[in-house]
A = this chain, B = another copy of it.
Amino acid sequence: MKHTVCFQPYNVCVEVENGEILLRAAMEAGVHINASCGGEGVCGKCKIILEEGELDSVRGASQSEEDWRLGFRLACQSRVLSDVTVRIPPESLFDKRILRMKPKAARLRALPFDTAELRAAGRYNPAFQKKFLQMPSPTLADNVCDLRRLRETLKKRHQLDNITVDFFLTRKLAEVCRQEDFAVTTTLDFAQRRSRKPRLVNVEPGDTTGRHFALAVDIGTTTVWVRLLDLVEGAIVDELGEYNAQISYGEDVISRIIYAAKSGGLERMQQLVVGTINSVIQALLKRHKLSTEDVSHLTLAANTTMTHLFLGLDPKYIRLSPYTPTLCAIPPVRARDLGLELPLHVYIYCLSNVSSYVGGDIVSGVLGSGMYQESKLTLFIDIGTNGEIVVGNRDWMACAACSAGPAFEGGGIRFGMRATHGAIEDAGINPETFEPMIMTVGLVKPKGICGSGLINLLASFMETGLITPDGKFREDLDTPRIRQGDSGREYVLAWAAETQIDQDIVLSEVDIDNLMRAKGAMFAGYVTLLEGVGLQITDLEQVILAGAFGSFINIENAIMIGLLPDLPLENYQFVGNGSLLGATCMAFSREMLEEERRVALMMTNFELSDTPGYMDRYIAALFLPHTQMDFFPSVTERLRR
């Protein structure tokens, strides 16, 4: 159920889900309300007056009974239960000039196709399908072997000839056939991958055609996600994530590679991630009362290092120039052979890698987003520790990894942190008072700043004129928030008393410099790939954002700081976890399972460090938004306002 929230005196309205926190609605609407405790309700600054409608509010400790009766509520302590009108009290007001409606984010696409529609049209065609078979019982005159009986019935009833059979399957065949008097359900893989022939995947007694599941797995350096897919319905049933247990041996791929080089290290890394996957799968199946026997196959995407570690391939050459992985296209592997607690019939279909730093997770996003079928010139971006980028369309694709560093994950930023409890995820600056409005993950007192918070804050600094285009704080401003710190000048986002860490949370010029390097590396990457084929950044027609990060950031602000190219917002799309997306598509669509290798081969990899002109373009991008302002017309416009 949705409600409309209108903010007075601006008369700005925004639509939100039932139960949404009012402070978030204000952020969404681009309405500034002073807020400095992150949403915990202790600073008492984010007061509003309820004029109409229903809010579920908690009364703050600092609020008098009188205030409460007058309709004063704390925005961070109020949930929207109906259409409401609220008024921002004068002390929280700021100049109407910079008020703006935040754009509607392009909808996240769960899948590039509608399985229900495909099923209705008879075009839902997953590679793995179940077929029920009633075989004739054997007699002395017809006593061919069980496998041949099965083959002959498949041929007769389903016109399926010359299927291939995995040996281990035959060990249970005799009993399965006889359990329900030669009535069995076969699972077949129709993907023309190694062979042109359908492959017999599994055989079960009786009719189990109504139960058929697959698992799509994304092994992130940080998190492992598993999706449970219903292949009969073509539906995503559920998904579950857990930290990749390798994380105790280092947060980034490089430290994992180094650990894997130690004696027994590779085996340890392999077992750790397999352990994580096993526990997630187990929890997911248990939640839905399913058995591992109901699963016919597993699709998987991961970056190149994660893929290698999962497969037990030593990734050491990934780290050494000239950065050669062992495997890009990955043969199907029996899940059990890698230690997964799944039946022998379950094989893993891995998305192909392109190069050492453009992995199967990116190919998965390109596949799942449909970029490889687009006529428009498209930029695909996945921002994580590294930023991976792909430009092109259905005719060609170029890709690269930008050594952006982990700045957008909080790395190299003094108070940077991941987007966990207490991280400032959204922030704005009052252009007159230079007071901040902050909101944290979990609506608690702040502990630090995560990527989306950093982008929004930097954009606010630019917009309010707190910083100059080279990332330095202006020295002529009269606010206690800007001061000289240990690492140059800094802005105090939260005072020690308002935090969980009993220190002032600040963003310094050194931090800003690191953010500029990170966004500069990305932008120089786009430009280099485009100019490599004679195109300009302005030729781009659309941008696809993948990754958790892509889903949380404010695109306009990311454009503002020069991280994303300056395209109209309607030309941006989120695909969320691109790695899971492509893996899901492969389970639901035979064509996509067959296409993925071709897609990976289409993607020409560039080593940016070795590509002429990259360094110059990088230096040109170390400016807010960029030295070439004509790359950013909308930002120029916004700054002028």
Contact = CB atoms under 8 A, between A and B. Distances in A.
B324 A146 contact: yes
B607 A143 contact: yes
A311 B145 contact: no
B333 A145 contact: no
Contacts of A327: 145-147, 170, 173
A628 B147 CA distance: 42
Given A164-B331, A167-B332, A196-B196, A326 B140 contact: no
Contacts of A144: 324, 328, 355
B196 A314 contact: no
B167 A331 contact: yes
Contacts of A337: 167-168
Interface string A332-354: 11000100000000000000010
Interface string A36-71: 000000000000000000000000000000000000
A322 B170 contact: no
Contacts of A314: 174-175
A139 B322 contact: yes
Nearest to A323: B143
Given A322-B139, A322-B140, A148 B328 contact: yes
Given A312-B171, A313-B171, A313-B174, A329 B140 contact: no
Contacts of A166: 331
Interface in A140-198: 140-149, 164-168, 170-171, 173-175, 178, 194-197
Nearest to A146: B326
Contacts of A353: 145
Contacts of A147: 326-329
Contacts of A325: 145-146
A356 interface: yes
Given A138-B324, A165-B331, A194-B195, A356 B173 contact: no
A212 B327 CA distance: 26
Given A143-B356, A144-B328, A329-B147, A322 B194 contact: no
A138 to B, nearest CB: 5
A174 B138 contact: no
A484 interface: no
Given A141-B610, A143-B355, A195-B195, A326 B174 contact: yes
Interface residues of A, number: 54
Interface string A298-334: 0000000000000111101100011111111111110
A144 B195 CA distance: 25
Nearest to A137: B322
Contacts of A610: 140-141
A328 B167 CA distance: 12
Interface centre among A142, A173, A195, A324 (most CB of B within 10 A): A324
A226 B287 CA distance: 52
Given A170-B313, A174-B313, A610-B140, A164 B194 contact: yes
A217 to B, nearest CB: 17
A355 B143 CA distance: 8
A148 B321 CA distance: 17
Interface string A580-610: 0000000000000000000000000101011
A618 to B, nearest CB: 18
Contacts of A324: 138, 143-146, 149, 174
A325 B195 CA distance: 27
Contacts of A323: 140, 143
Contacts of A174: 313-314, 316-317, 324, 326
A371 to B, nearest CB: 22
Contact of A194 (B143, B197, B356): B197
Contacts of A332: 167
Given A165-B331, A194-B164, A353-B145, A326 B607 contact: no
A589 to B, nearest CB: 22
A328 to B, nearest CB: 4
A365 B321 CA distance: 56
Interface centre among A147, A166, A175, A609 (most CB of B within 10 A): A147
Nearest to A148: B328
A607 B140 contact: yes
Nearest to A331: B167
Contacts of A328: 144-145, 147-148
Nearest to A147: B327
Interface string A119-137: 0000000000000000000
Nearest to A317: B174
A138 B331 CA distance: 22
A362 to B, nearest CB: 15
A197 B164 CA distance: 14
Nearest to A200: B331
A145 B194 contact: no
A345 B248 CA distance: 35
Nearest to A193: B164
A179 to B, nearest CB: 13
A189 to B, nearest CB: 13
Interface centre among A143, A313, A314, A330 (most CB of B within 10 A): A143
Contacts of A312: 171
A143 B337 CA distance: 29
Contact of A329 (B138, B148, B605): B148
Contacts of A138: 322, 324
25 contacts: A138-B322, A140-B321, A140-B322, A140-B607, A141-B607, A143-B356, A143-B607, A144-B324, A144-B328, A145-B325, A145-B327, A145-B353, A146-B326, A147-B328, A147-B329, A148-B328, A149-B324, A167-B337, A170-B313, A170-B330, A174-B313, A175-B314, A194-B195, A194-B197, A195-B195
* Cβ-closest 4 pairs across A and B: A145-B328, A143-B322, A140-B610, A195-B195
Given A140-B321, A145-B325, 4 more contacts: A144-B355, A145-B324, A146-B325, A164-B331
